[in-house]
Amino acid sequence: MITVLCLHIATKQASYRYRVGAFLPYWKEYGVEMHAVSIVGKNYIDKVRLALLAGKYDYVWLQRKPLAPFLVNMIARRSRLIYDFDDALYTRQSTHVGKLKDKHPGSPAYISRINHLLGKSSLVFGGSTVLCEYAQGYAPPERVFLVPTALERPPLVEPLFREPGKVTVGWIGSNGNLPFLRLIDKAVYEVQRKFPDVRFSVMCGKSPEGLQAQWEFVPWSPETELQWLESIDIGIMPLENDEWSRGKCAFKLLQYMSHGKPVIASAVGENLTAVEHGHTGFLARSEGEWQSGFEKLLIDGKMRRTMGAAGYARFLSIYERGVVQSQIARLLGSN
């Protein structure tokens, strides 16, 4: 049995839920025993105590949050260190404004911690190709592996809303990502003028503001998320073409694909890998391409069904929880 101490971020965060929590009930099936501990809110003494425990485990899996170099060195001397990250923490977030503090991604102090941690890791799990490429600048390439964010195959659920003959376009995300909807505001507005019966729905913590286009707001909750995803007909993921966005893991697209929905996404970063253009959806580089993608899918119901089925098959073969967990188990067993 391989033993792993997982030091993870807060359980309420999506990164934890899908890159740690989703795997926990199943590890013993793969010959792995994982002890998971949140390091959020731990004082320095508690972190030192956890670092001293590293020698009792085959691996210490540090999820996302970079620890101080002193603690990283303590762990690396006692066990094999895994660093798992799913955001471009070495750069400023797209929506961050103002001066960067040391605790903010992209600050010199944060970058220094990330780079030191990568160099000390026995294994690095990057959630996107761009993140892996960055990691290979500080860790030997043979230690760095692309590990997609994983989702369970969703159960059959009743749609949250469904009106016969009415097509729904949906976006789901955190409050901090709402500004990305501005990138396609003109395209959505023009589509709404041309197709007034189409619903545009957003599931989030708050309603989008300052947009010309009209969005129906559905408050996010874990109880209704799957029903909302089942309700929509087309899923979208607009992104800035900046360093932070290029590191993203295309997670929204995986959510849509897991429910058999065709997608339209900005041709940025991991979206280029997740979407097979013209087969599972459309990649867009301009507002004109966004509008064209919308119109093709809105007009052609057969295309929506065909692309949605292809996206679902791609999800099952690459991103489904069991597929990804098997990949991780093989890496743990071979290092």
Same domain (yes/no): 222, 138: no
Amino acid 95: pLDDT: 79
Confirm whether 206 is domain-assigned: yes
Same domain (yes/no): 190, 125: no
Q: What is the CATH number of the domain that holds 206?
A: 3.40.50.2000
Amino acid 96: pLDDT: 74
Same domain (yes/no): 309, 253: yes
Tens-place pLDDT, residues 17-52 = 999 999 999 999 999 999 999 999 999 999 999 999
Same domain (yes/no): 200, 305: yes
Confirm whether 159 is domain-assigned: no
**Which carries the bigger pLDDT value, residue 321 or residue 165?**
321
pLDDT interval class at 152 (50, 70, 90)? very high
Confirm whether 156 is domain-assigned: no
Same domain (yes/no): 41, 106: yes
Same domain (yes/no): 15, 75: yes
pLDDT interval class at 205 (50, 70, 90)? very high
> Domain span at residue 93?
2-150+321-334
Dmax over CA atoms of the chain, in Å, equals 64
| Cβ pair 247, 91 in contact under 8 A | yes
Tens-place pLDDT, residues 271-307 = 999 999 999 999 999 999 999 999 999 999 999 999 9
Same domain (yes/no): 312, 294: yes
Q: Which residues pair with 146 in a beta bridge?
A: 126
Same domain (yes/no): 115, 137: yes
Amino acid 288: pLDDT: 96
Confirm whether 293 is domain-assigned: yes
**Which carries the bigger pLDDT value, residue 158 or residue 98?**
158
Confirm whether 162 is domain-assigned: no
One-letter identity of residue 190: E
Tokens of 277: 């253009």
- DSSP letter for each residue of 62-119: EESPPPPHHHHHHHHHHSEEEEEE-S-TTS--TT--SPPPTTSTTSHHHHHHHHHHHH
pLDDT interval class at 94 (50, 70, 90)? confident
Residue 26 backbone dihedrals phi, psi, to 5 degrees:
-115, -5
Amino acid 306: pLDDT: 98
Confirm whether 157 is domain-assigned: no
Instruction: Note if the pTM is more than 0.85.
Output: yes
One-letter identity of residue 308: G
Total domains in the fold of the chain: 2
One-letter identity of residue 229: L
Confirm whether 25 is domain-assigned: yes
Same domain (yes/no): 73, 181: no
In which order are the strands placed within the sheet that holds 59-63? 32-38, 2-8, 59-63, 80-85, 123-126, 144-146
Residues 64, 154: Cα–Cα separation, whole Å: 26
Same domain (yes/no): 196, 303: yes
Confirm whether 161 is domain-assigned: no
Tokens of 117: 């941690």
In angstroms and rounded to an integer, the radius of gyration of the C-alpha atoms of the chain is: 21
Kindly state the average pLDDT of the residues 300-326: 98
Same domain (yes/no): 8, 141: yes
Same domain (yes/no): 39, 109: yes
Residues 290, 284: Cα–Cα separation, whole Å: 5
